[in-house]
Amino acid sequence: MTNTFGGKPHVLILGGGSVGLTTASELRKTLGAEVSITVVDPRPYMTYAPFLPEVGAGSIDPRNVLAPLRKILPGAKVVTGSVSAIRSAENTVVVDLEDDEKLEIAYDYLVVGLGAVPRLLPIPGLAENAIGFKQVEEATAVRDRILANLGEAATTKDPAARKRLLTFTFIGGGFAGGEAVSEAEDMVRDALRYYPDLHSSDIRFVLVDGAPFIFPELTEDQRAYVLNQLRERGIEVKLETFLNSAENGVIKTSDGDEFETDLLVWNAGVKPAPVLADEESSDLPVVTERGPLMGKLEALPDLRVNGVDGPFDNVFAAGDCAAVPDLASGEGKFCPPNAQHAVRQAKRLADNIARSVQGRPLVDYYHKNLGVMATLGMYKGVGRLQLGEKEIDVRGLPAWAMARAYHVYAMPTLGRKASVLAGWATTLLSRRDIIGIPQTETPRAAFEYAANAGKKK
């Protein structure tokens, strides 16, 4: 294998999320200056996604869920750009930079941790009116929109506008969607004390999911518990129901319901980064059969990408864009796409690259699931702990505390952990902030108004 960086093996990591950040960090610990590391991502930071529902509820400052790549990975090169082509036959990757520039990067080892993007459906009005919930910018925008709508609804004299402003629709009842709507409703309930002109009966939260249940990762009893909790709080949960249309802010669902909404949040599934499935952009093989693995790279237990003619010895994959065998769950099972597996896969992946560099045998990835936890608002939670062969259901305050404790532990950097804890402490003392700042989407509006104020029309 030809070394490309001054005699050192060059490890190129695509994606700066949990997989990319952890892999780079572990490689630096293991091999130090023996390797050169480059990380490519459109954003110069890693977003700790499990905290996004609390960002959307104003419980955590948006910046505190971000881990700056350049600060955490000293000595590694960080390229801010989007991967547009992967040419494994030539050991090169093409990255699109700003101003239509392209950068071609050669590698000795390639790590694909590009994650996933929202899986959109051809529903009229969806692409034009909905917002996702996978990035910190989206969670912040959802928070700002909801809070700004409360203020606008409290002053409008138009009952139809008031109803639309106070109707918030969430599509998808998995962990991401369920936590997002739960935390948002909790935020609104807390904020209403400052709006004497509004009543809880004015607020409408709607959660739509095509499955017969929400939170599929939980047991049947736990699902029933969550469903009852949400409905008792006034959240309208529509199961076995699909979004038919969202044109002009008018929601039409398969159960015949039709209503106006000012916020539509899409959490109905994800798909692997599209560049992988595009044969003109990538020569790495992906799963083509329809199903939850479609579009993912097929990974061997040692996390090398598996091809038609055998494994790629210098190409590894992990996280949401990889179909990784779950050896702990039995034959034919694959690891679920969550942060718990992504971080642990990355550590095994980094160790296997180090082993390859040093000429040692690779080791398979094996991890028994520790369980799942979700927050449903302040002091509310649900989860399932896996202790050996025993499963324990946890609810209410204990589940909420466990979920927060685990995520603080998993959040990268001591500084970010401290910031999150300090923010929570402040919230306990002074309650959540109720200021929405939708003007961040148009920051020059006030300046432009001032500039044009004196001009004659």
Q: Are residues 250 and 298 both part of a single domain?
A: no
Domain holding 301, by residue range, is 10-42+81-118+271-358
Give residue 295's region: left, alpha or beta (phi > 0; psi -120 to 50).
left
367-381 pLDDT, tens digit per residue, is 988 888 999 999 999
Per the CB < 8 A criterion, the answer to whether 11 and 38 are in contact is yes
Q: pTM for this structure?
A: 0.90
Cα–Cα separations (whole angstroms), residue 91 to 230, 286, 433:
51, 18, 50
Question: Tokens 């047991």 label which residue?
Answer: 219
* Predicted confidence (pLDDT) at residue 98 exceeds the cutoff of 90: no
Q: Are residues 140 and 242 both part of a single domain?
A: yes
Domains identified in the chain, total number: 2
Q: CA–CA separation, 272 vs 286, rounded Å?
A: 10
345-397 pLDDT, tens digit per residue, is 999 999 999 999 999 999 999 998 888 899 999 999 999 988 877 889 999 99
Q: Are residues 301 and 219 both part of a single domain?
A: no
339 found inside a domain = yes
Is residue 356 helix, strand or coil? helix
Q: Are residues 286 and 143 both part of a single domain?
A: no
Q: What percentage of the chain exceeds 70 in pLDDT?
A: 98
202 found inside a domain = yes
Per the CB < 8 A criterion, the answer to whether 89 and 83 are in contact is no
Amino acid, res. 179: E
Give the model's confidence band at 432: pLDDT under 50 very low, under 70 low, under 90 confident, else very high: confident
Per the CB < 8 A criterion, the answer to whether 11 and 111 are in contact is yes
Q: What's the pLDDT score for residue 1?
A: 36
Mean pLDDT over 402-422 rounds to: 92
- 67-81, 204-218, 441-455: segment of lowest average pLDDT: 441-455
Q: What's the pLDDT score for residue 5?
A: 57
* Predicted confidence (pLDDT) at residue 451 exceeds the cutoff of 60: yes
Q: How many CB atoms lie within 10 A of CB 284?
A: 21
Q: What's the pLDDT score for residue 269?
A: 85
| Cα 221 off chain centre by | 26
Give the model's confidence band at 13: pLDDT under 50 very low, under 70 low, under 90 confident, else very high: very high
Q: Are residues 332 and 395 both part of a single domain?
A: no
* Predicted confidence (pLDDT) at residue 2 exceeds the cutoff of 50: no
Q: What's the pLDDT score for residue 435?
A: 76
101 found inside a domain = yes
The closest alpha carbon to 22, from 314, 304, 411, belongs to: 411
Per the CB < 8 A criterion, the answer to whether 68 and 21 are in contact is no
Per the CB < 8 A criterion, the answer to whether 96 and 102 are in contact is yes
* Predicted confidence (pLDDT) at residue 431 exceeds the cutoff of 60: yes
